């Protein structure tokens, strides 16, 4: 996964998509699990549609992304959000117990198992006790991973011909990465987005323990 790839994708596709500029389906579903107010970190904000939604509801929002093109577009449209360019795999540069909510929409499925485990532990570290983690990720049932051009690097982790590496979670594997860190409030494979016609994405909402 390269910055150049994501910058091009955001410039040529996502910045022009209607769905990128409104709250995602998952954001409107997850909000019922959130505290009424507090500090919220979004990992992988993209065009900033969900960050804008959360700040409009009164949350103090910090939003990160790997793509400076995505952040440039988001900052032009969205106000009252602290945008940060950040590679999540390199760690989260925030103090312990500094957020009430950590949220991520389709941005935590790009890492090998060791990095994925480290990311979830880092999220646990920066959440306050009882804080909420809400994420939606790729699904093991995604038809694209069955194509011949995908190479399996490790269980549920693939690489395509463009060099993009993706993890395809199951309900079981998301539970294994979050066990002893979060009390599950929601785990299922019923997630969906406006972008794709897939209705088996993995949804997870948990409370820090």
pLDDT per position as a tens digit, 23-33: 999 999 999 99
Per-residue pLDDT averaged across 185-194, rounded? Answer: 97
Q: What confidence category does residue 17 fall into, taking pLDDT thresholds of 50, 70 and 90?
A: confident
Q: What confidence category does residue 1 fall into, taking pLDDT thresholds of 50, 70 and 90?
A: low
- pTM confidence score: 0.95
Q: What are phi and psi of 117, to 5 degrees?
A: -60, -40
Question: With respect to CATH, is domain 3-208 assigned 3.40.50.150?
Answer: yes
Per-residue pLDDT averaged across 181-206, rounded? Answer: 96
Does residue 146 register a pLDDT over 90?
A: no
Per-residue pLDDT averaged across 124-137, rounded? Answer: 98
């Amino acid at each position: 996964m390269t910055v150049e790839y994501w910058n091009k994708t955001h410039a040529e596709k996502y910045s022009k998509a209607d769905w990128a500029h409104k709250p995602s389906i998952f954001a409107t579903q997850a909000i019922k699990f959130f505290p009424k107010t507090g500090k919220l970190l979004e990992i992988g904000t993209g065009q900033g549609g969900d960050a804008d939604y959360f700040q409009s509801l009164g949350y103090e929002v910090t939003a990160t992304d790997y793509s400076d093109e995505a952040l440039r577009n988001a900052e032009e449209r969205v106000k009252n959000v602290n945008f940060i360019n950040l590679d999540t795999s390199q760690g989260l540069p925030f103090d312990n117990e500094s957020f009430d909510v950590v949220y991520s929409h389709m941005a935590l499925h790009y890492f090998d198992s060791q990095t994925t485990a480290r990311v979830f532990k880092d999220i646990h570290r920066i959440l306050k006790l009882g804080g909420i983690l809400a994420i939606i990720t790729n699904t093991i049932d995604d038809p694209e991973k069955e194509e011949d051009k995908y190479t399996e690097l490790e269980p549920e982790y693939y690489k395509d011909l463009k060099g993009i590496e993706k993890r395809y979670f199951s309900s079981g594997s998301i539970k294994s990465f979050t066990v002893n860190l979060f009390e599950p409030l929601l785990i299922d494979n019923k997630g969906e987005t406006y972008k794709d016609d897939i209705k088996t994405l993995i949804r997870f909402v948990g409370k820090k323990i």
